[in-house]
Structure 1
Amino acid sequence: MIDKTCTSLAAAVAGIHDGATVMIGGFGTAGMPSALIDALIDQGAKDLTIVNNNAGNGDTGLAALLKARRVRRIICSFPRQADSYVFDALYRAGEIELEVVPQGNLACRIEAAGAGLGAIYAPTGYGTLLAEGKETRRID
């Protein structure tokens, strides 16, 4: 088995390159790996795509990464809340892209990506205005 143990936070984020997609765990500030995010800020990678449940809270963790202007795009299910002012300002200024994904679909996409699948089908939005003009398939 390959030993993937890292001896430091800097070593853990050393291989993250400009333009990388990074999934950050946690639900708001609960479970958020703040120390790793701080190490990523120090490491300097930019133009990141972040996959997370939300778009940051206050000024720490994910919000600090956004404030440092390291994120080009965020994929999440819940971008706005009372203390998401860093994200809100960046979004209103057109300085960050947002893809909002329903929470269940986000979980399915994360699972599919981990399994190496190229796509998933989910019935979210089927038969609604949201689905107009989009590909649909009937799968048994």
Structure 2
Amino acid sequence: MEFKKPTETIFYQIEKVIKQYRLMAQANLNKLGYKITINQILLMIQIDKNQEISQVELAELLFKDVASITRMTELLVKEKLIERKENKEDRRKKDLKITRKGKKLLDLAIPVISKNREIAQHNMTETEIKTLLNLLNKIIINTSK
């Protein structure tokens, strides 16, 4: 296989897509008037869906290290968007829960996220989306060996 310039590879395009999507998504999220990042919203969504989720599991789901999750959690607690309490069964663990203020924000943010996804996938058929997901999964499998 011929060595290609980085800008001619699918990996460059994948990175470019992710960065462009995040720029658009963050700009649209900023319109809500809250000072919050896409990653913080994604963290809150995961907590809302599973209150027993650990920070290690959150880190894996969001492709972050545990220290980053801890920092995000601290900020969200400070902003009163989530609560952190000691786990009654294991004092080393912390239970995370969305506050009323956090739930209100999620209720506003989730439609924005849905619209962002719709915009990004405009003019793509279900077949194209499935094909893309299959190809990306092949790359994941190939690089996980």
TM class by shorter-chain length? under 0.3
Ranked by relative contact order (alpha carbons within 8 Å, sequence separation 6 or more), the top structure is 2
Q: Bigger radius of gyration, 1 or 2?
A: 2
Larger proportion of helix: 2
